[in-house]
């Protein structure tokens, strides 16, 4: 990138309502840090946008000056797509407003809002959007990749509740899009990632949820993992859509309901969730306890917004993270055995393997109803490498890659785009399947020069 003249940068600064940061500014280093500490990039400029007009200005500036352009919502993406070297970052952290219209059951969510922001406002009205499982995740990145979590079996994916959006495209034009307003672009942002512009506001249909739900953990020893996971696999096929159970294999954290002797030991934890009250959820959840010898259990009524924060301590920013992921339509015995083998060999206590249960309403739309195509997936498996010391990089990455390769023959051959790391560009086709060609066509129309390329990129050349 050619060095920008001082007066050129000053002109951009004067045109923005929010601050513009450069290397050496007091807030610069904090602004370039994101959730995954493995990402260490130094942008030339960080525009902390205060509104959509700032976004339009920043997009036009990057385009006109040939700058690499990255967009930061929550900064939670594992690949570090929120930050680029030597370019311009559009930082939406100052745009976190969430407005709820309870009569229309709609939420208007700014592009920098976190899941906690959305839950806080919507739950005040007893309403919810089906979001993810970590409250510090950015709502924008989650949504643009599809979005799944505890409510997906009952209400579908996050994009299935998206009814409109405001987006700034590569021509620096603000557009309002929806099913009848530029429908191809609206289709593309429902799973196509940040390839098509900067979404500054999302419009979600809301659903009655909570404020109390039934949720918690049932923990088993890893030594009984084969029986537990096989029984789990068979049982979830019978679940109603308002019940979800995820499986997590890791070293036991110091949870207060677990005996101290269990802390640090290999476990299989089943995270159970239902929108039913405890007395109605109990008959459905009771069989889970028979899967093995329960080491500890904590299940009951909990505020939905609090449950959304339950796993935040295990996913706090500042650690080094590397993921590998597969989708599964079913779990074979061979896949179960491989999960157990590699979970028993985690390189650090923070590493884990989880099986996120999907199915239900998330699988009802047609493959081409949204850009997100994986409407036959029952489980999204994430191999979550996590550690603190850079000296552990090689062995933690190797563990994740080895397990990924070993279990691949039993997987569906597809992947959730939000779980792809920065070295997996070759798998982007797996993330979009038969929707790829249509996405390329939309990209050619709205971003023919590939201005928005710091993402899991859909190049206009295909």
CB-based contacts of 56, cutoff 8 Å, min separation 6: 168, 172, 173, 174
Cα(194)–Cα(190) distance, integer angstroms: 10
- Scan for tokens 């939670």, then name that residue: 76
Reply yes or no on whether the pLDDT at 2 is more than 80: no
- Per-residue pLDDT, 457: 96
Reply yes or no on whether the pLDDT at 1 is more than 60: no
pLDDT averaged over every residue in the chain: 97
- Per-residue pLDDT, 321: 97
- Scan for tokens 């089943």, then name that residue: 270
- Scan for tokens 């490498």, then name that residue: 385
pLDDT tens-digit map of 322-341: 999 999 999 999 999 999 99
- Per-residue pLDDT, 62: 98
pLDDT band at 3 (very low <50, low <70, confident <90, very high): confident
pLDDT tens-digit map of 281-336: 999 999 999 999 999 999 999 999 999 999 999 999 999 999 999 999 999 999 99
Cα(291)–Cα(208) distance, integer angstroms: 32
In this prediction, residues 86-99 reach a mean pLDDT of: 98
Question: Residue 70: CA atoms inside 13 Å, Cβ hemisphere, count?
Answer: 28
Architecture of domain 10-91: 2-Layer Sandwich (3.30)
- Per-residue pLDDT, 163: 98
- Per-residue pLDDT, 119: 98
pLDDT tens-digit map of 173-229: 999 999 999 999 999 999 999 999 999 999 999 999 999 999 999 999 999 999 999
Q: Which residues of 257-295 are buried (b: 16+ CB within 10 A; e: fewer)?
A: ebeeebeeebbbbbbbbbbbebeebeebbeebeebbeeb
In this prediction, residues 439-452 reach a mean pLDDT of: 98
- Per-residue pLDDT, 157: 98
Reply yes or no on whether the pLDDT at 102 is more than 60: yes
What fold characterizes domain 98-209+435-446? 3.30.465
Reply yes or no on whether the pLDDT at 126 is more than 60: yes
Cα(34)–Cα(191) distance, integer angstroms: 22
Can you give the residue ranges of every domain in the chain? 10-91, 98-209+435-446, 212-425
Report pTM: 0.96
Reply yes or no on whether the pLDDT at 451 is more than 60: yes
pLDDT band at 52 (very low <50, low <70, confident <90, very high): very high
What fold characterizes domain 212-425? Vanillyl-alcohol Oxidase; Chain A, domain 3 (3.40.462)
Reply yes or no on whether the pLDDT at 18 is more than 70: yes
pLDDT tens-digit map of 374-386: 999 999 999 999 9
pLDDT band at 87 (very low <50, low <70, confident <90, very high): very high
């Amino acid at each position: 990138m050619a060095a920008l003249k001082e007066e050129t940068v000053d002109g951009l600064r004067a045109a923005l309502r929010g601050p513009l940061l450069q290397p050496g500014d007091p807030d610069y280093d904090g602004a370039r840090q994101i959730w995954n500490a493995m990402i260490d990039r130094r942008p030339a400029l960080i525009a902390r946008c205060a509104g959509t007009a700032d976004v339009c200005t920043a997009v036009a500036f990057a385009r006109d000056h040939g700058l690499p352009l990255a967009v930061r919502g929550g900064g939670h993406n594992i690949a570090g797509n929120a930050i680029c070297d030597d370019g311009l970052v559009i930082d939406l952290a100052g745009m976190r407003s969430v407005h709820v219209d309870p009569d229309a059951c709609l939420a208007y969510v700014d592009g920098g809002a976190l899941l906690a922001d959305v839950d806080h406002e919507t739950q005040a009205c007893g309403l919810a959007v089906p979001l993810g499982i970590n409250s510090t995740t950015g709502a924008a990145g989650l949504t643009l990749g599809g979005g799944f979590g505890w409510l997906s079996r009952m209400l579908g994916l996050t994009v299935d509740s998206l009814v409109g959006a405001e987006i700034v495209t590569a021509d620096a034009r603000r557009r309002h899009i929806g099913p009848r307003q530029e429908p191809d672009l609206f289709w593309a942002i429902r799973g196509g990632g940040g390839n098509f512009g900067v979404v500054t506001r999302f419009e979600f249909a809301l659903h009655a949820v909570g404020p109390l739900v039934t949720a918690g953990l049932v923990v088993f020893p890893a030594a009984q993992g084969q029986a537990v996971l096989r029984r789990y696999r068979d049982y979830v096929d019978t679940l109603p859509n308002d019940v979800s159970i995820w499986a997590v294999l890791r070293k036991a954290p110091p949870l207060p309901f677990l005996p101290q002797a269990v802390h640090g030991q290999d476990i299989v934890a089943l995270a159970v969730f239902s929108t039913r009250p405890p007395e109605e959820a109990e008959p459905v959840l009771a069989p889970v306890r028979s899967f093995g010898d329960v080491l500890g259990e904590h299940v009951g009524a909990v505020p939905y917004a609090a449950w959304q924060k339950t796993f935040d301590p295990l996913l706090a920013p500042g650690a080094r993270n590397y993921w590998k992921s597969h989708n599964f339509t079913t779990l074979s015995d061979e896949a179960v055995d491989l999960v157990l083998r590699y979970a028993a060999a985690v390189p650090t206590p923070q590493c884990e393997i989880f099986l996120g249960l999907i199915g239900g309403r998330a699988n009802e739309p047609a493959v081409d109803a949204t850009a997100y195509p994986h409407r036959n997936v029952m489980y999204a498996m994430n191999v979550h490498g996590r550690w603190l010391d850079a000296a552990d990089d090689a062995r933690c990455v190797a563990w994740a890659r080895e397990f990924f390769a070993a279990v691949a023959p039993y997987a569906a051959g597809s992947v959730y785009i939000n779980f792809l790391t920065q070295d997996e560009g070759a798998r982007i086709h797996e993330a979009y399947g038969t929707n790829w060609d249509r996405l390329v066509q939309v990209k050619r129309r709205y971003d023919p020069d590939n201005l928005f390329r710091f993402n899991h990129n859909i190049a206009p050349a295909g």
